[in-house]
Each structure stands twice: as structure tokens, then as C-alpha cells.
A and B are shown apart, each in its own frame.
Chain A
Amino acid sequence: MSLAPLSLHKPNYLSVSNTLRSWLLTTDHKRIAILFLISITFFFFIGGFAAVLMRLELMTPHADVVDKEAYNRLFTIHGVVLIFFFLVPSIPGVLGNFLIPIMIGARDMAFPRLNLASWYLYLIGGIIVLTSILIGGADTGWTFYTPYSSVYSNSAVFTMAVGVFVAGFSSILTGLNFIVTTHTMRAPGMTWFRLPLFIWSHYATALIMILGTPVLAIAVLMVAVERMGVGIFDPALGGDPILFQHLFWFYSHPAVYIMVLPAFGVISELVTCFSRKRIFGYTFVAAASLAIAVLGFLVWGHHMFVSGQSAYASMVFSIISFTIAVPSGIKVLNWTATIYKGRVWLTTPMLYAFGFIGLFTIGGVTGLFLAAMAIDVHVHDTYFVIAHFHYIMVGGTVMAYLGGIHFWWPKMTGRMYPEGWAVFSAILIFVGFNLTFFPQFLVGYLGMPRRYHIYPEEYQALNILSTAGASILGIGYLFPFTYLLWSLRRGPRAESNPWDAAGLEWQTTSPPPTFNFEKTPIVTQEAYAYELVSQEDDLPGRPNPTEGEIPVLDAPPQEDQP
């Protein structure tokens, strides 16, 4: 008779079947998350490769690596691929899909087959975009401004627009699933105010996905239709080019919150776990997510201060843009307060969380410059804007994504990652990121416009710093890719709860069984009840969690369903 715990011999969601068919036709939300993980990693490296070529080109003021046509295509690929095929589906597609049902104690998503369909739509959209790259790529930038994109550009705009259109439906289905799942699939006792903040922020994200993405779909579809000769935005045919910008930014500004709200959710989980504390001001943090989702729909005009929209419209958009800084600020202050009198355990995920808070704050306060109309006029379409949104989207979202991947890696794969390498690459990424993007604030304020592959020589010093930073950042990203793959076979086996964390997802085995829990959990505690979690003194190093020690939930065997 074996003395090993029984659970080791039960099949988990990974080991239950290993045929290709079992993966491609799976309706298990965890397997779909893994499919997303593989595919967004692929697209991350495509978009990243375009960035490498651009940074190399920008090392000198002259055109020496690529010419103008290639450069315009590179930044379009970089933007389209990394925004629509990496950032938007990153945290929701991977961590959201994997964790939402487990965190609320459900067996799966509300619509498992729609969930799989969302991955296929993503994949089809991605293949169409790859095709458009192979047949020559588009040169309009990811913003597809008309009438250049719809009438003048001689590039594969049509194909790329169709790819984005299709991928949009993936996003809508994901959002739909998140909302219905959160409403209908919560375990007994999992009230709304016991939900982890990860769920709240994904719920807010899902609202934006459902309400915003159709507008983007309409906008890019109209560009595609106009390329076939129907007049919509072309003034020669009675159209209005600025209408496109309104439609585009009506989605694409909230899309920034699609990218960063899930990151907020991840950070709330990381900060609480590694401070061993309850979140400071739970309701405020949850409400801030919803406030951001709502206000996010009312600020799109701040992308258009110089576009020719009414000066009075700009004034209103400016004021609303300032208000959205308030809920974002509330979050940063609440995380900081959470660390106060905590017991900070500085692991890799916590390093990423610190990195996120710092970089997101820089990205956020530089947003104030852009909300102030007159300042925006000067820095609009310069590298200042590039730096600002990379601080939010790379410094924010990618940092949180990597932090989350490390934090939940043991749960997803049943293996631990190598902590030394992970700490090292987290620091490398932080340093590389700042060296890449901070000089861009300066060069942008000096007046260097974006989307130029040549520039006056006086900007070269700052561009070299930026390229040097990008090389460090690029290497930094290769490390996690390598050691995480390595850990799949060689990493030490993970306990159910290697971090001694309070969330429901840590109550099941690592990796979880197909239907997540042996028995439907019954929740009797709020989220983040860390005062009840063991605070043994053996913390740094890996604690030995004791099964069933945490009274977050209580699963009486007799009362369970047959």
C-alpha cells in the first residue's frame, strides 16, 4: 500500500488525456487557458521581434536597418499584434480563463463551448493577420486612420482589418462568459463581497469587452468596406474622416482598461498574499474597478485634441479624463496601505507587483500631462505619448501578467519555477524597461514625432539609451520563457498551496482536477482572510502548508451532492 497522498494518483486536468484531439476539442476552461497561453506567447514574440527591428533602426538617425516602407509596416505589426493579439487577451485569456471558475468555486465557465469558440476566433483572427503580414503587411499604424487607411494606402489593410474584426468576437465571447459565470456559477456562500478582487476587475473588464468591442468591429469593418469602394469616411464621397477616429477611440481608449484592469486584479492578489494581509479598503478597490470601466467610456476624445474636433468637446473630455485618475490613484494608495504593517515576503511575483505599482504610477501621472489639453497639443504624436502608454501597457500589464504567471504557475502546471533565475530576470526586465522607455519621455518633449524612422541627430543619444534598454528588456523576456519551459519537466513539484495563500484556488490540488474541486466548496469567509492563514516562522523558503488548515471554506463531506 502506498503512503503517498491519494490525490497524487488522481488524474488532474493535464494528465486526464493527452491526445491532440483532447486539447483541440476541450471545453475545460483550464485547458483553454493553456491554449491561450501558448498562442499569445507566440504572438508576443512576433510583436516583440518587430520592436527589436524598430529599435535597431532607431539607433542611428539614418535609415540603415530598414527602409521607410518596411518601418511603417513594422510599427503596424508591432501595434496590431501586441495590442489585439497579446495585451487584450493576455491576462483575461490565460489567467482569467484559468482562475475565474476556480476562484468562485465553480466546475467550469457558464458556457464552456463558447469559451473554446473564443479561442478559435482568436486563432482565426491571428492567422488572418499573419496572412496580411505575409502578403506585405499594412502601413497605417494600428490606429487605421482614415482616409489614409481606407483610400490611399497600398498595403494589406483589408486583410489586417478583417483579422482584427474576427479577433474582436473572441474578446466579446470571453467577456460574456466572465459576466455570466460570475453571476450564476458562484459556490454556496461566495457572496459578491466575498469575491476576490481579481474577479471584480475581470467583471469590469468583461463589461468593457462586451460594450466596446462591437464598436471597434464596426469601425474596422467600415474601413474594409470603404477599401472596396463604398464611401464612408472619404470626404470626396461625402464622408467624415474624424467619424472614424471617434468610433476607433470609443473602443480603443476603454481597451486600455481592458488591458490594465485585469492587471489591477492580479496585483491585488499578489500584494495581499505576499504582505500576508487583507486588502486595505476592499469595497473601494472593487468600486474603483467599476468606476474605471464606466468613466473609461467617456474620455475617448482626449486622443483627439488636435484632430479638429470641437474645442468645447475637448474641454469636456479633458475634465472627464482628469476624473478617471482618481479611481486609479485610489488603487495605488490602497495597495500601498495593504503593505503597511504587513509581512512582506519578497518573492518573484511580489517583485513584479512592486514593479507594477511603480511603473503604473509613472504611466498614470504622465497621463495627466496628456489630459491637460495645451500640454497634450505639444506632446501629441511624439515619443512622450509612446513612453506614457508603454509605461501603462508594458510596465503595467506585462509586469502584472508575468507576476501572475509566476504566482499561479505552480497551480497551472504543478511545478515550481526556479526562484533565483526568476528574481534575476524580474530585476533585468525592470531595469531594461525603464532604460527603454524613460528616455522616450524626454525625446518626445524635445519634439521627436512618432512613426519616423529617421530623425535629427540631436535626438540620437536618447535613442541609443532606449535601444540599449530594449536589448536588456528583450533578453529579460527570454529568461522566463526559457526557465518556465524548463520547469515543466525539471521544476520541483508544487504543493497545493506553495504560497500559503488564502484564495479558493489554493484549496484544490496543483494542478487541479478537471472539475476543479473534489467537492463543491462552501465559502464561509471573505477573501483575503490572511489573519487566519498560518503565519509560521518558516516563511522564506517554501512553507509546508497543512491541508485543511485554512478555514476559508468548509466542505462537510456528508452535505455534498452525489
Chain B
Amino acid sequence: MSLKRLLSRTLPLWAMLTAPTLAWAQTAPETFGRPTTVPVNVFDGSASTDTMFNFVTWLTLSVLVAVLITLVIFAVKYRYQPGRRSIFIHGNNALESVWTLIPTIILAVIAVLSQDSWSQMKNPPVNPPDEPIRVRIIAMQFKWFFQYPGPDGEFGRLDVTRMNIKSSDVKEQAGLDPTDPASADDIIVGQLVVPKDRTVIADMISIDVIHSFFLPNFRIKQDAVPGMTTRVWLRSNKTSAEVVGTNPNQPLATYTADGEEVVITDAKPFDIVCAELCGNGHYTMRGLLYVVSEQQYNQFLEIEYAAAAAGGEDDGYGY
């Protein structure tokens, strides 16, 4: 059966199949009109990832197109025709060597390039101009907490046996050991706040199952594994307000020891996504990453540290 005949014969069926889709598209124009764009990459450490992605895309696309075009040409040119016979070819060792060697070389190039972008993503700069900020990421079903070490620069010990997920105090939820002197000035908060253009080194632990810390805007993903510490580093060259905009109705606010609300910024945060299935609430495990100015960051920490020093219960979102 010729393709033309086939298509014309089956036209009603194609219409039947595509009609619901088109109808849906008509009823939901706002969905189709919504811009779908690649998340802006704000992390210099993964800039080469995007370059690599584009390079591999163009490379593989050209290979793919070449193969598909060749197949189509062969299928048409060598189609069955009365009187024409197939030509008997055993193979060609020279040709086989060529098309083994060339892909091998191309793949070797990609492999070497990818080592480079991998090391940029994994290793923080050796001699950063400023002292890196250290944070500890605590993952648990189904939320993210972030521990800042306080003025002493030492993280308080986390003790699984002290964990009490039902507590209203975030330090008890995470099992921060109050007998450890380093714990006294620590804060644990429910959103990650870091300044723009500063190196952040984050050690990551999980309290229960495996979670995965995914920042689409940074091209970073790292599992948080119970029983071990994993590490990511990041540095944003833009504030989150510059990339995702602001929302004055839902600002990032914190509370002083006296219970006064202080708005740090009205920026919207970057998404932190849990990318490893961790249970029924996996899909709710969204975290917030605010990249703010250096002053806003310092203001945030000062208020939080002061409130922590004054004591009291902390739900992780301000005292």
C-alpha cells in the first residue's frame, strides 16, 4: 500500500486521535501561552555544564540527523524495483575501522571535557578571595532545614537519638545536642539564605531516608544519605530577586527576640527540589533558597543569632 493511499484511508482515524488534543489546547490557552524556559543558570561552577550540554546537543543532533537522512535516502533509493537486484557486499574492514575510530575519538573528547566540568562543579575554588560560608543541610521527610554554625564557626552535634519530629522546636526536631558547647549559638532555619557572590560550602546529612538536593538554577544535585555526609558548593552571581522576581505579599521575614517582625527581602526564592523518592510526601519536599545582598544576609543572621542567644522556641521560620 502506498503511503499516500494509507494516509488518505486512515484520515478519519487521525482526526479522531488529534481532535481531543486540539480541543484541549483550545480550552487551555493560558497553559499553552505560558512561557516555558530553561531555568536561568546563576552558578559559575556549572557554567561549563551548559556549554557542554549545548555542545553535546549539537554534536548528537548532527549525528542523529545524518543517520536518519541516510536511512531515508537508502529506503527510497534502494526500494524494491522490478529488475533491480541487491548487490552482495560482505563488509569492509577499512570502513569498519573508520567508523569505530571516529566515534571513539569524539567520545574521548566529550569524556575529557566532562571531567573538567565535573571538577569545576565538585570542587570549590582553592583560594577564594573571601572566607567561604559554611552551612549544614539537614534533610528529613519531607522538609529541608539549614544549620548555621553561629559566631563560633562550629556546628553543634546532631544526635539522631535526640530527634523529636513532633516537637515544635526545630532544634529538637533535628536532634541538635544541647550538651555540645558548639550548639549553643547555632541556628537552624527552614530556608537557606545566602549572599550573592559568596562561596557557600554546604555539608549535607539526612536523618531518615535518601533525599536529593536539587537546584535547577544551579544545575546542582546531590543526594543526602543517612549515615554519611555529602557536600555541595555554590555561589550565585545573581540575587533571587534578579532572576525570579519579587513578591511583596510573601517576603522573607524573621523575628527578633522581642517578637518583632523584620522583613529581610521581598524577593522570591529559588526552588530546592527533592529529586529522590523519599515517601508519600516526596512531592511536597520543596525548599526555598534566598540569594540576597550581603547586607540583607548579615541582617538576617544578626537577628537570628540574637534571637537564638536570647533563647526560646524556634519553629525554624523565625522565633
Contacts and interface: CB of A to CB of B under 8 A. Distances in A.
B126 interface: no
Contacts of B1: 419-420, 423
B122 interface: yes
Contacts of B113: 372
A535 B275 contact: no
Nearest to A338: B89
A493 interface: no
Given A346-B80, A381-B214, A341 B89 contact: yes
Contact of B20 (A371, A468, A530): A468
B277 A140 contact: yes
Interface string B107-134: 1101101110110111000000000000
Interface in A413-458: 419-420, 423-424, 427, 442, 445-447, 449, 451-454, 457-458
Nearest to B214: A449
Nearest to A533: B86
Interface in A243-286: 275-284
Interface stretch (B98-106, B188-196, B233-241, B256-264): B98-106
A370 B35 CA distance: 26
A354 interface: yes
B212 interface: yes
B153 interface: no
Contact of A318 (B32, B87, B111, B230): B111
Interface in A76-97: none
A344 B78 contact: yes
B273 A449 contact: yes
Interface stretch (A165-173, A221-229, A305-313): A305-313
A152 interface: yes
Given A306-B212, A374-B118, A339 B225 contact: no
13 contacts: A147-B226, A276-B86, A277-B86, A282-B91, A315-B115, A318-B111, A334-B96, A344-B80, A378-B216, A424-B6, A458-B36, A461-B32, A471-B20
Contacts of B208: 147, 152
A442 B235 CA distance: 26
B38 A280 contact: no
B187 interface: no
* 3 pairs of A and B residues whose beta carbons are closest in the complex: A235-B227, A447-B216, A365-B60
A153 B279 contact: yes
A475 B14 CA distance: 12
A319 B111 CA distance: 6
Contacts of B276: 145, 381
Interface string A46-66: 000000000000000000000
Contact of A464 (B31, B74, B117, B210): B31
Contact of B71 (A139, A358, A372, A461): A358
A12 interface: no
Interface in A512-562: 530-531, 535, 537, 539-540
Contacts of A377: 46, 49, 121, 219-222
Contact of A380 (B18, B38, B117, B275): B275
B222 A241 contact: no
The prevalent SS among residues of A at the interface is helix
B79 A336 contact: no
A475 B115 contact: no
Contacts of B90: 278, 280, 282
Contacts of A468: 18, 20-21, 24
B87 A341 contact: yes
Interface stretch (B62-70, B245-253, B287-295, B296-304): B62-70
Contacts of B230: 308
Interface string A177-198: 0000000000000000000000
A174 to B, nearest CB: 31
Interface string A297-338: 000000000111001001100110011011001101110110
B82 A325 contact: no
B214 A275 contact: no
Given A68-B281, A322-B107, A339-B78, A446 B36 contact: yes
A471 B37 CA distance: 26
A382 interface: yes
A543 B143 CA distance: 67
Contacts of B8: none
B179 interface: no
B135 to A, nearest CB: 18
B181 interface: no
B202 to A, nearest CB: 14
Nearest to A454: B283
B67 A311 contact: no
A472 B279 contact: no
Given A340-B89, A365-B64, A375-B53, A147 B209 contact: yes
Contact of B86 (A147, A341, A375, A420): A341
Given A346-B75, A369-B57, A472-B17, 15 more contacts: A235-B227, A280-B91, A322-B108, A326-B104, A333-B67, A341-B86, A343-B80, A346-B80, A365-B63, A427-B6, A445-B53, A451-B282, A460-B34, A464-B24, A530-B88
A339 B34 contact: no
Contacts of A453: 283
A317 B209 CA distance: 25
Contacts of B103: 325-326, 329
B84 interface: yes
Given A346-B79, A373-B118, A423-B1, A535 B85 contact: yes
Contact of A277 (B20, B89, B114, B214): B89
Nearest to B67: A361
Contacts of B111: 318-319, 322, 371-372
A442 B113 CA distance: 23
A141 B276 CA distance: 10
B34 A461 contact: yes
B15 interface: no
Given A330-B96, A447-B39, A373 B114 contact: yes
A49 B8 CA distance: 31
Interface in A132-148: 139-141, 145, 147-148
A117 interface: no
A378 B160 contact: no
A427 B3 CA distance: 10
A357 interface: yes
A401 interface: no
Given A145-B276, A241-B225, A374 B39 contact: no
A354 B36 contact: no
Q: Which of B32, B36, B38 has the most CB of A within 10 A?
A: B36
B182 interface: no
Nearest to B93: A281
A484 B104 CA distance: 43
Interface in B197-214: 208-210, 212, 214
B78 A358 contact: no
A77 B236 CA distance: 40
A368 B96 contact: no
A16 B20 CA distance: 49
